[in-house]
Chains A and B, each alone.
Chain A
Amino acid sequence: MFTQLLAEPFVHTALWAGAAVAVVAGAIGVFVVARGMSFAVHAISELGFTGATGALVIGIDPVVGIFGGSLLVGLVLGLLSLRGRERDSAIGAVLAFGLGLGYLFFSLYQGYATEALNLLFGNILGVSGTQLRNLVIVGAVVLLGLALLYRPLFFSSVDPELAAARGVPLRALSVAIFLLLALTTAEAIQVVGVLLVLTLVITPAAAAQRLTGRPTLALLLSVAIALVSTEGGILLSLAKPWPTSFFITTISFAFYVAARFYDWSRGRQSRSTSSPPRRIFAVR
């Protein structure tokens, strides 16, 4: 049964689509985590749901609606460049309204409830060939954007004050990262669904930052964890007919827990074996 399924074209499409999304989500995740944008990811993806249901109501491809909704809220959040609590509360307000609107659209749409479920929880085994092509193109755009912006984006994420002093355009970068995030989110929705986007955009990066202090290694680990979670989840759902998204979230969460445990045990070790705190330089 499992090997039979492995030969099916729709499974190959799903595996490729999962890989495309996982690489992009894992890569942008390290910036999202460094900038404390986890909540924004959630808001962007819920507005993707609003866009998708809106598209269903007016009878166009929901994927178009996903991109429209995500990009709109990403642009607004990027332009506002809010920080800290103000950003949290603004996002909360937008998110709740967007989801309410999405529910209205959905009740207006006289379709099947499975379409809503697929939007909310993902349906990677239903990805079409055209959809896969679009996922790869959009993913390439995001990766290219991240590569071009890598150093100033990293600088402004870890040390905004210094970056500004060196002439790094903080606001333009904020808009750019939010737009790239919106594209990534719109991609991830098609794999794991609106409610579970965080499992690919946040969890792998959050795990990676517990495993290493090296920025490039963290980026690679984050991509690797996202890839293993997605592909592993797809394969497991062939063997056992439970939802693919469940397996993906479970694997990525297992990585996260293991990374935290690793970090914790390493901290304990260095505390118990190291000598008293070293003096960095003598008091003169």
Chain B
Amino acid sequence: MSVVAVDDLALRFGDRTLFEGLGFELERGELLAVLGPNGTGKTSLLRILLGLLQPSAGSVVVEGCPPQERCHRIGYVPQQRVFDRDVVLRGRDLVRLGLDGHRWGFGRFGANDRARVDASLAEVGATAYADAPVGRLSGGEQQRLRVAQALVADPVLILADEPLLSLDLAHQRGVVDLLDARRRSAGTPVVFVTHDVNPVLHTVDRVLYLAPAHWAIGTPDEVLTSGTLSRLYGTDVDVLNVRGRVVVVGTPDDQHVHHVENGH
């Protein structure tokens, strides 16, 4: 029984079609990387999975329930957006919001909840700065807290939207390892939107590649090939393996060669 079932999904804005006929299933513990150039609907796909955006056609089911009905917790790690320096919020407050921030009232914060927040903080290695104001933490520390916030409510699915953007290599590795560890220990599937597949290449099960007109899904070896990407883009695209890194050359928007730009 798959956790996520996406069937014949289409998304159009006016007369512009981002994708159509999109279908895939996610099994327990699976890590899916969503790749592709800007403007092909990667973030929109996540918003559909979160129940925030209505698709033009097709259906999405998460554990037997449409996401907009919010039957299940979905963990979400958004694009790195630095907190305002003065925001009155400690790391542990941020994580706690993931547990009960959507509920009405003040709420009682019992020992049980406190233990869950502490466990989540420990899981991402954020205990040392859990009581510091988040606005004074580094981008990498803030992003770890966001991962803890996504994990604290034991979600059935984790969605991450470019969670590595503007993080240095060590923190990128840290965030990927945290999500990887959770899906292995708890079987929570992860959808990971990224413009650069290399930080997750070692752990990814399948890749969904959204090109401007077409899409493809499969293992990295199936999708990240010159043949598949040339077919998706309708032009000659080369996929090179350079020192264990995947580099794509010749896409129509080559400025954004999605794999070399991080400068490492």
Which residues on A are within 8 Å of B, measured CB to CB? 30, 34, 147-152, 154-155, 158-159, 161-168, 208-210, 212-215, 218, 278, 280-281, 283-284
B250 to chain A, nearest CB (A): 34
Q: Which residues of the other chain, B, contact A149 by a CB distance below 8 angstroms?
A: 104
How far, in whole Å, are A30 and B138 apart by their CA atoms in the complex?
24
Judge whether B208 is part of the interface by a CB distance below 8 angstroms: no
- A161 and B102 contact, CB distance less than 8 A: no
| Residues 65-92 of B at the A interface (beta carbon under 8 Å) | 70, 74, 76, 78, 81, 83, 86-90
How far, in whole Å, are A249 and B170 apart by their CA atoms in the complex?
49
Q: Which residues of the other chain, B, contact A208 by a CB distance below 8 angstroms?
A: 88
Q: Which residues of the other chain, B, contact A148 by a CB distance below 8 angstroms?
A: 104-105
CB-defined A-B contacts under 8 Å, sample of 24: A34-B87, A147-B105, A147-B106, A149-B104, A150-B105, A151-B102, A151-B105, A151-B106, A154-B97, A155-B102, A162-B78, A162-B97, A162-B98, A162-B101, A162-B149, A163-B101, A165-B52, A209-B86, A213-B131, A215-B90, A215-B93, A278-B128, A280-B129, A281-B170
- B125 and A213 contact, CB distance less than 8 A: no
- B88 and A161 contact, CB distance less than 8 A: no
- A152 and B104 contact, CB distance less than 8 A: yes
Q: Which residues of the other chain, B, contact A167 by a CB distance below 8 angstroms?
A: 51, 70, 102
Q: Which residues of the other chain, B, contact A278 by a CB distance below 8 angstroms?
A: 128
How far, in whole Å, are A280 and B101 apart by their CA atoms in the complex?
27
How far, in whole Å, are A85 and B128 apart by their CA atoms in the complex?
37
Closest partner residue, chain B, to A149 (CB atom): B104
Q: Which residues of the other chain, B, contact A215 by a CB distance below 8 angstroms?
A: 88-90, 93
How far, in whole Å, are A143 and B102 apart by their CA atoms in the complex?
19
State the main secondary structure of chain A at its contact with B.
helix
How far, in whole Å, are A283 and B173 apart by their CA atoms in the complex?
9
How far, in whole Å, are A56 and B88 apart by their CA atoms in the complex?
42
Judge whether B50 is part of the interface by a CB distance below 8 angstroms: yes
- A154 and B101 contact, CB distance less than 8 A: yes
How far, in whole Å, are A187 and B174 apart by their CA atoms in the complex?
51
| Residues 126-181 of B at the A interface (beta carbon under 8 Å) | 126, 128-129, 131-133, 138, 140-141, 144, 146, 149, 169-170, 173-174
Q: Which residues of the other chain, A, contact B264 by a CB distance below 8 angstroms?
A: none
- A164 and B125 contact, CB distance less than 8 A: no
How far, in whole Å, are A230 and B145 apart by their CA atoms in the complex?
39
B67 to chain A, nearest CB (A): 10
Judge whether B103 is part of the interface by a CB distance below 8 angstroms: yes
- B170 and A152 contact, CB distance less than 8 A: no
Q: Which residues of the other chain, B, contact A30 by a CB distance below 8 angstroms?
A: 88
- A165 and B104 contact, CB distance less than 8 A: no
Closest partner residue, chain A, to B47 (CB atom): A165
How far, in whole Å, are A212 and B88 apart by their CA atoms in the complex?
7
- B101 and A161 contact, CB distance less than 8 A: no
Q: Which residues of the other chain, A, contact B105 by a CB distance below 8 angstroms?
A: 147-148, 150-151
Given A34-B87, A214-B88, A151:B101 Cβ within 8 A: yes
Closest partner residue, chain B, to A209 (CB atom): B88
- A168 and B70 contact, CB distance less than 8 A: no
How far, in whole Å, are A159 and B51 apart by their CA atoms in the complex?
18
- B170 and A283 contact, CB distance less than 8 A: yes
How far, in whole Å, are A132 and B170 apart by their CA atoms in the complex?
60
Judge whether B244 is part of the interface by a CB distance below 8 angstroms: no
- A280 and B102 contact, CB distance less than 8 A: no
| Residues 99-124 of B at the A interface (beta carbon under 8 Å) | 100-107
How far, in whole Å, are A34 and B87 apart by their CA atoms in the complex?
7
> Known pairs A152-B103, A162-B78. 7 more at Cβ < 8 A?
A155-B102, A158-B88, A161-B81, A209-B86, A213-B89, A213-B132, A280-B138
How far, in whole Å, are A241 and B98 apart by their CA atoms in the complex?
52
B104 to chain A, nearest CB (A): 6
How far, in whole Å, are A149 and B128 apart by their CA atoms in the complex?
31
Closest partner residue, chain B, to A205 (CB atom): B88
- B149 and A280 contact, CB distance less than 8 A: no
Judge whether B94 is part of the interface by a CB distance below 8 angstroms: yes
Q: Which residues of the other chain, B, contact A213 by a CB distance below 8 angstroms?
A: 88-90, 131-133
- B101 and A152 contact, CB distance less than 8 A: yes
Closest partner residue, chain B, to A156 (CB atom): B101
How far, in whole Å, are A70 and B220 apart by their CA atoms in the complex?
59
Q: Which residues of the other chain, A, contact B173 by a CB distance below 8 angstroms?
A: 283-284
Q: Which residues of the other chain, A, contact B51 by a CB distance below 8 angstroms?
A: 167
How far, in whole Å, are A161 and B149 apart by their CA atoms in the complex?
13
- B106 and A150 contact, CB distance less than 8 A: yes
How far, in whole Å, are A45 and B149 apart by their CA atoms in the complex?
38
Option from A150, A152, A159, A165 in Cβ contact (under 8 Å) with B94: A159
